[in-house]
Every structure is written in C-alpha cells, then in structure tokens.
Structure 1
Amino acid sequence: MIQFLATSTRVSGTSGCRRTFPRRLLHTMTTLVVPTLAALFAQTVFMSSLRAQSSDRPNVLVILTDDQGWGDLSVNGNTNLSTPNIDSLARDGASFDRFYVCPVCSPTRAEFLTGRYHARSGVYSTSAGGERMNLDERTIAETFRDGGYATGAFGKWHNGMQYPYHPNGRGFDEYYGFCSGHWGDYFSPPLDHNGLIVQGDGFCIDDFTNKAIAFMESNVKQNKPFFTYVPFNTPHAPMQVPDPYWDRFKDKPLAMRHRDPQKEDVDFTRAALAMCENIDDNVGKMLAKLDQWKIADNTIVIYFCDNGPNSWRWNEGMKGRKGATDEGGVRSPLFIRWPQSIPAGKQVSQIAAAIDLLPTLAELTGQKVGGSKPLDGRSLAPLLTRDDADWPDRKIVSHWKNRVSVRNQRFRLDNRGELFEIATDPQQRVNVAEKFPEVMAELVAAAESYQTDVAAGYDDDQRPFPIGHADYRYTQVPARDANFNGGIQRSNRFPNCSYLKNWTQTDEVISWDATVGASGIYEVQLHYTCPAEDIGSTIELSFGDSKLTCQLTEAHDPPLRGFENDRVKRPESYVKDFKVVTLGRIELTEGPGQLQLKALEIPGDQVMDFRLLFFTKIE
C-alpha cells in the first residue's frame, strides 16, 4: 500500500536548505496525483495477479460452431468470405489437416464431452430424448471442475434438457443458452439460464459471446482458471443474421462454388457465409479480451465444427455434406492455440477426431480424467508439443444411423463398401477396393467390429424423462419430447423447436414417459396459445394418482413469427410468443410413471397450441 504523509508545507531541497512548497500545488497533488497513483498501483496489482495466473494452470476456451463446413473459412482457401480472427488461430497455433467429427450435431457434442464414440453414451438421435448422454458418462466439464476450474457453457447444448441431463448436471457451474437441437428465432429469444427461462439480449451469437466474456472476466478477477465452452448455433438454420452481415452478401457474386454447382442454393450459401463472418467477429471479441486480460499466452483456445456444411456449397470438392459419413460430411477444421507451449503455425498431418479432445486437454492441463469407462480418443499432446512424436497409424470410425465409415491415415472405407485413397483422391472419385484388398479387408473388419461391439442396440432407448431432482429446482418438459395420439400434430417434422396443434378431442392425450427424482410439491406453468373463440377448455395434468385441474380463461392468439428475420425460407418450425400461465401445484411422488395432459371439456373447436410445461419444486 502507498501512503502519502504531508506534515508540512515545507520540503527539503537537494542542497539541504528548506524550500517553500506552494499550498495550491500541494492541494493539486493530494486531490489529483495521489488518486491517480493509487489507481495506477491498483491496476499494477491487478496486472501482477494476472501475470501470476499466467504461470499457473492454463485456462481453456473451446469454440464449437454448428453446421459450418471445413470450407467455410478463408484460411482454408475460400475467397467468398473473410474470417481473419479464426484464421489467426491457425497462424498462431496448430492446425490439423484431417480432423473428424460426426455427420450431425448431438453425436459430435457427446464425443467431445466424453472422449468416447457417441453410440457408447446412448446418443442415437438429435431430438425427442435421443440426444441425451447416459448419466453414467463422465464429461470433460466434470474433469475440469473436479480439478478446481470454473466451468461455463454458453450456447447450444443439444445433449439433454431435464436435469441431470442439463448442462448444470454434467459439470458446468454456469449455463446460458438453449438445450434443443435448433431454435426458432435468433433475436432475443427465450433462453435457459441455469434452468430458468429468461429473455435473450439481441442476436444470440453476440449474446452468447458477451455472456462467455463476462464469465471469463469474473474468474480472471478471482484468479481462478476457467474452462469455457462456447457452442455457437450458427450457421444452422433458420438462416438469420444481423443486417450488416447480410448486406455484405445478399448481392455478392460467389467466385467459389460447390463441385456440382447445379445443387447449390446460392442465397442459402450467402446467408451461411454471412453468419460465418458474424461468428468470426465474435471469436475476435473473445481473443481480444484474452489479450486485454494478459492471459492469452496461457489460455488454450480450440476451434472446431460439429459436422459438414448444411448445404451444397464450396468445400474443396469433398464428397458429401452434413449427414454423410464421407469426407465432406465429417471433416472439420481444428485449430489449437496455446502460445506458451504450442509453436505458432504448426501443421499436424496425422488424422484425429473429436473423441481426442478430452484426453488432449486433460494432458495439456494436468487434469485427471477419472471415471471407470475407457476412452476411445487418444491425447494429441505429443503431436502438439513435439516434432518427433511416436504416432502409430490408427482407425477412426464415422457413424450415423446405419451408416458406418472407417478412416486410417491413407484410406477411407465408405458406408457403401467402396475404398478411397484420400491421400491422392481427397474428393473420393475413384474406388480402389480391388487394388488394395488387404486394406479393404482390414477396414471392413474394423467397421464390423464397431457395429458389433459399440453400436449394437445403441438406439434401444428405455430412458424416461426426469422431473424434479433433489439437487435442482427446475424442469422443462417440452412438446418436442411428448407422445400424442388422435389428430394432434406437430407444427413441424423436426421436433426440436416445435409445438403441438390440432388438439380437438377429449380422448386425445399428450404424454411423457417420466420419472420423478424427488418427492415434493411442484408448481406448474403452461406455455400455450389459444384464440378467444376457443378459450375455456378444462385441462388435467396427472402423474400416477396426483392430478391438477385448471380451466384456460385467458385468450392469447399471436401470429406465427420467425420468418421476418429469415434470409431464406426455413425447413424448421416457425414459432410464436407463447403465453405463460400458472396451472397450480401438484404433489409428485418419487419414481417412474406417465405424465399426462388431457382435456376434460372443450367448448370451442380446439384446446390450445401447446409448447411447454415448467415445473418448480416448492417443498
């Protein structure tokens, strides 16, 4: 601490004689200089603490994008767009030439989170419960939390909504985003903050970035290492992006096109590239903050994508797109920057996959993985930190539904039984199965072994949806997870952001196979719409012998929305501004059962459009 002692208006000069000090100047020093020096000292102390932290355990920032292909970056040769901030990660860190993820969203997230093939963790779909990881899987967030790190996730989760499938139940102290596979509106939508439904603030990618920055800054000030996971939800449809980005692309000629240009929807490509430039700006904001806080040298930053591009667009001529197990469907960029330990501009030619990121980060940061289940991934640390790493060839399996493909360093066996030498034929145009029968036999055996040992029965799902938990107050039970009968319909064939409509009969039931995790009294809220001419239905919510009856008395009939922000027509459901009403309280007893919602009386033509039930444990 600095102390200034002023006991006299006279001070000693260098010659030893006494010199009069002007009182006005002394006043200026005490009122202006002293506070300024004190502030500088406080800043010095803060920066010293940051430097002390930089020599301690490294922070981790993982950025994952949704439906962005390998080719949607200028660093990979696409001149249609500019992504300087993402490109800088390749320049300043390590870049992997052939890094593989899954063909679609939730499996990739599960493989990153667990270090294991998604089929092992119970993930077999992208909605209606099939996106959930089994609760006996240990996640990368649990590894870092147990190692003393603050853990936060900001964006699209897509591995379970109800606690303990919720991010807060999988090792993340802080969560802000949405748990479904896609969302209906990207501008100030309803979001999930640690289980509560809150209103978003502006374009969601900007919002997620700001929340992630606030989380990291809070922990920097506490001198605590952080593990921050930012799973952006773009450029997944709906194709929405703020005007400045769209204005750059809406009339832009595209110099680089898909290898079969007649397949390409140019406006969709323009929207996707505009969304990628927005992602790049947000990556730049986070990187700038790491520099500002002086922790960039000791922060590991990882950037990758969850699958191939969500449309036919330029992707270096690779075969396939999102949903395919070919190179174009599963090849992702991977950049890892850690200036303190990874050489800038390092190129890694060995194949790698999302299953490798957990063991890699654990080794780089000195964390104990723990858990009893073996990992499918291997640590990439030797490839990142050494030039002479002993790295034997390996096989990486790409799988989605009934399609299995196997990759080794040189070849890919596709799901149709054809063999391609990727080293010389990266676009998979020439089948060389007859030329390399031994390789063919080896990779076929690996595919069969995976199907028998890993994937057999993985989609036989008997898991109920949890309601309530001793450690968590909130449970969302959405329409997307429901079973229903009669004439009830989904608003769209993609369940994630859908609602249920055309509910017209008393013998029609909406239900969920559920289990109550903690006995108690729960307050229930309903998210619905209903026009004035149909208001007045009496509905009953039941679980076992417990029943809650309520009459809908408030009309709410907003128009469909979402399309006003779309740049191209969407395939997914439009949304509404649903009304929230409290139905009342219900006593639930721990254990399995069926949660049912039905109508006892319907005075109009329909009951309502149903979106969500929200349970809060009261006692």
Structure 2
Amino acid sequence: MNAVRSVLLRLTSLLVAWQTLASPAAADRPNVLVLLSDDQGWGDLSLSGNADLATPHVDSLAADGASFDRFYVCPVCSPTRAEFLTGRHHARSGVYATSTGGERLNLDETTIADLFRAAGYRTAAFGKWHNGAQHPYHPNARGFDEFFGFCSGHLGDYFDAMQEHNGRIVRGAGYCADDYTNHAITFIEQSVAQQQPFFVYVPYNTPHSPMQAPGRFWRRFADRQMTMPPDGDAKRQSKADETRCAYAMCENLDWNVGRLLNRLDAQGVAEDTIVVWFHDNGPAGVRYNDGMKGKKGQTDEGGVRSPLLVRWPGHIAPRTEVAHIASARDLLPTLCELAGVPAATRHPVDGLSLAPLLLGDTADWPDRVLINQWQDKISARSQQYRLDHQGKLYDMAADPGQTRPVNDAQPEALARLSASARAHRDAFMANYARDDRPFVVGDPHAPATLLPAADSRGHGAIRRSSRHPNSSYFTHWASPDDRITFNVEVATAGVYRVGLYYAAQEPGAKCELSFRDARLPFEITAAHDPPLRGAEHDRVPRIESYTKRFKQAALGEIELAQGPGELSLRALEIPGAEAMEFCMLTLERRE
C-alpha cells in the first residue's frame, strides 16, 4: 500500500514540477491563508445582518474583496474539509462519517496542499484536521509541512488541551483558537523571513460545542438580551445561553482573524496574500439564520449555505458581490489558478475555478447543479431552485425559507434536479459507507502512530464516556472478558515501543496487548485518578463527555509482523472495580 502511494506521490510531484517550469517562480506567487470555522452558520456574522454580535475583521474581507451570496458546503464538518482539500465531492473520496474511520480521505486523492508544496510553497495546517488521524492519512502525509492541532474527533476542553505537533502529543497553551492563531502567525513570520511563499490552512474548531469562550468574550454576552429571532422549530430552539456563548466564540474568532490580518500588514505581505474565509456547515443550534430552513446535519439551505469571502488587494476589487452559486469544491481550482499553481490532480475535480467571477468576468458562466448530501439525504441546488431530500422543489429566490413547494408549477426544473439527484444516488450510494480500510500502524514517514479510543471498538461491558465517539474514552472495564480492539495494518515490521494514556483509581491490573502471535504483558503500576475537566469552562451544559488529564505510561516493546490484523488490549486480572479508563495507545518503531 505504501509503495503504491509513494509512486503516485512521485508521479504527481514530477507532473507538477514539469508544469511549473512554464509558470511564474514561487517567489513571485501570492501567499494563501485559508480560514475555516466550525459550526458557524450563515447568520453568525454581523455581515449577514445579525445585530446581536460584531465581526468587523471578518466583515472587512467582504469590504476589501469579494463575497459570495450563495456558497455551499456540506451539512457536517469532515465532508466539507474533504471537498476543500480535493476539489471533489466527498462521496468520491471515502469520507462518509465524522468518526471511527469514516472521516478519512482516500490515499489516492491529491490535496490542495500537495499541489502548493510541489510548487514551492511552505505549507501548514493549524487546528481541527478531521480527515484521518494516522499516517498516511495524517496532514503531514497529505501535503502539509507543519501541523499543530488535533486529528481525531474533537476536544473535551478548549483550554490547555492535548494537541499534536507533527505527530507528537503536546500540551496546548491557552484557548485553542488563540493557540492555533499563534502558531499560524509564527509560521507566516518564518516564511516571510525565508522569502518563501506560504499556504496556511487554519481550520478552527469553534464555535462547535462544548460551549466554551474566554472570559472577556463571554462577559460581553453573559447578560445580553438577544434581539434576532431564531429560525426553526420553536420547540427545538437553543437555550439563550447557548446562543450567547456561540456568539462569544464567533467574536473570539473575529478577534483572531484581526490578529492574522494585522500580522500580514506588519510583515508587509498583505498585498501579496489571498485570504479566504468560509464555514464548514450550518449552525449547530437553532438561532438566527436569515430566515432559512435547516441547520447542521441537514441538507436544506440553512444547513449548507456558508459565507465565502476572498480578499486579494490589487486583484479582486473591493465590495465585489457574486450572486452565482458556488461550492467548497471550487476552492482548489480557484486558488490554484489565482496562484499560478498547476492543478495536477490524480482524479478530475468536480469544482470550477471561481477566478473569473472574482476578477469580474461573469460572461458565459454555467447554470450548474450542486449536490448537497449527508448520509442518505441528497439535495440538488441550481441557481434558482432547490430540490430537497424528500423530492420537494422550492424557488429559492421567491421562497428562501422553503415553505411552498413548486413541483407542479415548475416541471422542467423538477425534472432537471431530480435527474441530478438520482444520478448522484445511483453513482455513489450503493457503496457510500462500505469501508474495509484498516488503521495504519508504522507508516515509515510517521514519527509515531496514535490510536485513540475514537478509532477502536469496545467489547463486552466496556462503554464509551459519551455516545459520541469523538473525544470519548472507555470506561466500565470490569471483566477479563472485556477488551478493546483496533483493525490495523502494520506497514513496517519491527519492534515497537508502546505507550498508554490512561486513568485508574487503583494500580494492579495485569493486562496484555496482542497482535497475531505477538504479546506484550504489562501491569498498571500507578494509580491515576484525575478529576473530570471541562465543566469549569463550560458556559452551558454539554452533551459530550468531559475529559481528563490522562497519564502517559511506557508499557514496553512488542514485535509486530507486517500486514493486517487485530490489535487487541485485554485485562487479564482486575483487582479493583475496573482495570483502567482507556484514552489512547501510541506505537513508535525502534530503529
């Protein structure tokens, strides 16, 4: 598998290098800064008419550049990220879920970072990756020279969180969005000092729950009366404090955007940098969303419509407004064209370059159909109409709230969008969620392999700390009949040092890690029973589990043969109420 992948990467690099010979030198190309927020709806900006919050720095991107009125993403996070990275519909790329491996981007996909790095850019990602945790799915294996953030699931606490830096576990510093911004600023400064163009991707993880905002942002909203009417079923309206905290988190994001824009100015590269802002799906709660139907997880307009703001001084005219529909799949070909980077992808992209629209050329732009999908719900959108997943057609110009179906009045539009939705379903749904990909251990390019609880299966009475696998750990490990397993493929045979992140009320559990015929017996020699973390920072009650400061322990070494198999963790003797609470295994090949 890795040999094939290496050949594919080499061929892509050679093709890009060949095409680059006829392109401007890397030093003459614009920098690119892409900013993505998590669970921030269309209505969560003052730019969108929301009077309950202020986002002047994000809004300034529209004033100084272009804004798209009808830009579409996916109903949830991992698919949107995949579509941005590849320029292709997520149904093509192996992404069909947000956890337990379904968020991984197929290895034969070319990413936008692959292309920019091959063209001479320094590339980096800071924040929530969510498209594969282990090499070769890891961001460092998908074109990014530098990565700081988290790959799997989500975070249980946004302050001083467990993070990764290029495949190594580290402790974050302060509030996560501020931390990611700090790393992006440092990388930009280093790139400017080295006189090398940069491609920086900052996928923030806010205002996604848990609802935590730094004190100075929360205090602006703690007692504020909300004035904007929420959109959606009144019985399911979010609590007022949830909306207040979401807005506080949005204002924190805006502050961080301001920091980045100010740094571009200070470094003298603002005129030479394309800045992109968009969201990954609709709002997670029921709050103001400009009268649209739908929220996160839904394929109606409000669940998939996002702002798209693009600034490039001297090239994109200020206050350019684009009415044409567009999607996250358009960003790869757009940025490649603007930067003069060859879009030498292994597979044809689904997106179109938006460069003509950004630069003022709207002649002959096609009236295309965009497909929005989540699981088995498929919706089709043309410039004027949306066909929802139940087959109801709406005139979005006359009825943006999707209240009056026009199936009988618009048979031609109904037939066209129905045919597009049916073609998508026929092409992808039969195998949409079929997945036999193992988690890879020992990729030769990885410093270590991290196997979190989110990517494992619990057997017996073992339970996850939350019904959501993301950011969960395993508890109630009370019987020797219980076990935890990972479906893995060992890429490189050898001796591996094994580490464990755990909590235990008392020591003494005798355990075993096994793979095929290999065994590593070990004992939990130290109790570690830290308190739950997160509640002290929550502004509203959460649905996710709280987290802990898990202890790291070195378990010893195990010799692993190359190939697929089940990596199994068992407790052979349990002297107390439970063996341990399991967070993560780490495996590092001994050279």
Report the TM-score range of the alignment, normalised by the length of the smaller protein. over 0.9
Q: Which residue of structure 2 aligns with residue 435 of structure 1? A: 409
Are 1:208 and 2:183 an aligned pair?
A: no
Separation in 1, partners of 2:194, 2:470:
38
Q: 2:516 maps to which residue?
A: 544
Which structure has the bigger radius of gyration? 1
Count of matched residue pairs: 566
Distance 1:559 1:241 in 2: 21
Distance 2:304 2:316 in 1: 25
C-alpha contact 1:54 1:298 (8 A) present in aligned 2: no
Deviations 1:110-154 (A, max 9, x none): 000000011100101100100001111110000100010000000
d(CA) in 2 for partners of 1:596 and 1:584? 16
CA distance in 2 between counterparts of 1:264 and 1:314 reads 10
Distance verdict in 2 for CA 1:323–1:473, change over 3 Å: same
Deviates more, 1:542-551 or 1:276-285: 542-551
Letter in 2 for 1:554: A
8 Å CA contact 1:106, 1:125 repeated in 2: yes
Q: How many Å apart are 1:386 and its aligned residue? A: 2.5
Name the structure 2 match of 1:383: 357
What is the correspondence of 1:599-610 to structure 2 with a 5 Å cutoff?
A: 599-610=571-582
Post-superposition Cα deviations, 1:213-258, rounded to whole Å, max 9, x if no partner, equal 0001100010000000000000000011110100000110111021
Corresponding residue for 1:585? Answer: 557
Deviations 1:521-549 (A, max 9, x none): 111111111112xx201110011111111
Name the amino acid aligned to 1:401: Q
2:18: which partner in 1? none
| 1:473 shift after superposition | 2.1
1:152 aligns with 2:152: no
Equivalent residue number for residue 294 of structure 2? 320
SS at match of 1:484: strand
Superposition deviation, residue 435 in structure 1: 0.4
Counterparts of 1:250 and 1:405 in 2: how far apart (Å)? 38
In the other structure, the counterpart of 1:287 is 261
Bigger mean CA offset, 544-553 vs 89-98: 544-553
What amino acid sits opposite 1:169 in the alignment? A
Question: Does the 8 Å contact 1:182/1:236 carry over to 2?
Answer: no
> What amino acid sits opposite 2:397 in the alignment?
A
Moved over 4 A (4+): 52-55
Separation (CA, whole Å) in 2 of partners of 1:328 and 1:388: 26
Matched residue type, 1:395: V
Asked if 1:245 is matched to 2:212, the reply is no
Structure 1 distance, partners of 2:314, 2:27, is: 9
The answer for the alignment partner of 1:297 in structure 2 is 271
Q: Is the 8 A contact 1:536 1:603 kept in 2?
A: yes
What does 1:3-152 correspond to in 2, within 5 Å?
56-152=28-124
Are the equivalent residues in 1 in contact too, given 2:40–2:280 (CA < 8 A)?
A: yes
8 Å CA contact 2:153–2:454 kept in 1: the answer is no
- Deviation string 1:321-344 (CA, Å, 9 cap, x unpaired) is 000100100000000000121111
2:346 and 2:213 map into 1 onto residues whose CA distance is 43
> 2:346 & 2:169 partners in 1: Cα distance?
35
Larger mean CA deviation between 543-552 and 272-281 belongs to 543-552
| Normalised TM-score (structure 1) | 0.90
SS of 2:429's equivalent in the other structure is: coil
- Offset of residue 259 of structure 1: 3.1
Q: Which amino acid aligns with 2:203?
A: P
Q: Residues 509 and 575 of structure 2 are in contact (CA less than 8 Å); yes or no, is this contact kept in structure 1?
A: yes
Aligned-partner SS, 2:57? helix
Match of 1:28 in 2: none
Residue identity in the other structure for 2:295:
R
Larger displacement relative to structure 2 (208-217 or 513-522): 513-522
Q: After superposition, what is the alpha-carbon deviation per residue over 1:177-225, rounded to whole angstroms, capped at 9, x for unaligned?
A: 0112321010011100000000101001000000000001100010000
Inter-partner Cα distance in structure 2 for 1:397 and 1:411: 12
Which residue number in structure 2 is paired with residue 463 of structure 1?
A: 437
**Post-superposition offset of 1:53:** 10
Q: Distance in 1 between matches of 2:525 and 2:456?
A: 24
- State the one-letter code of the partner of 1:316: D
Distance 1:164 1:55 in 2: 29
Amino acid at match of 2:408: E
SS of the residue 2:330 aligns to? helix
Alpha-carbon distance in 2 for matches of 1:215, 1:329: 33
CA contact (8 A) 2:109 2:346 kept: no
Query: Aligned runs of 1:109-508 on 2, under 5 Å?
Result: 109-260=81-232, 261=234, 263-508=237-482
Instruction: Give the aligned residue type for 1:567.
Output: R
Provide the rounded CA distance (Å) in 2 between the counterparts of 1:605 and 1:80. Answer: 50
Match of 1:33 in 2: none
Q: Deviations over 1:415-460 (max 9, x none)?
A: 0110100011111111111100111111111001001113331210
Aligned residue for 2:6? none
Taking the aligned partners of 2:306 and 2:265, their CA distance within structure 1 comes to 26
Instruction: State the distance in 2 between where 1:295 and 1:53 align.
Output: 17
Contact kept, 8 Å, 1:54 with 1:297, in 2: the verdict is no
**What SS does the corresponding residue of 1:600 show, helix, strand or coil?**
strand
Whether contact under 8 Å (2:448, 2:589) holds in the other structure is yes
Which of 512, 517, 521 lines up with 2:495 in the alignment?
521
Q: What's 1:31 paired with? A: none
Q: 1: CA distance between counterparts of 2:440 and 2:321?
A: 45
| Displacement of 1:554 | 0.3
DSSP-derived class of the 1:134 partner: coil
Secondary structure in 2 matching 1:165: coil
| 8 Å CA contact 1:60, 1:228 repeated in 2 | yes
In the alignment, the residues of structure 2 paired with residue 307 and residue 490 of structure 1 have an alpha-carbon distance, to the nearest angstrom, of 26
Letter in 1 for 2:177: I
What is the alpha-carbon distance in structure 2 between the residues aligned to residue 86 and residue 528 of structure 1? 41
Please give the secondary structure, in 1, of the residue aligned with 2:32. strand
Give percent identity, aligned residues only.
55
The alpha-carbon distance between structure 1 residues 566 and 509, as it changes in their structure 2 partners (threshold 3 A), is: same
| In structure 2, C-alpha distance between the alignment counterparts of 1:53 and 1:427, rounded to whole Å | 48
For residues 182 and 320 of structure 1, the distance between their equivalents in structure 2, rounded to whole angstroms, comes to 23
- Give the secondary-structure state (helix, strand or coil) at the position aligned to 1:523: strand
Unmatched segments (≥5 aa) in structure 2: 1-23
Offset at residue 388 of structure 1 (A) = 4.1
Partner Cα separation in structure 1 for residue 457 and residue 238 of structure 2: 36
Partner Cα distance (1:388, 1:461) in 2: 41
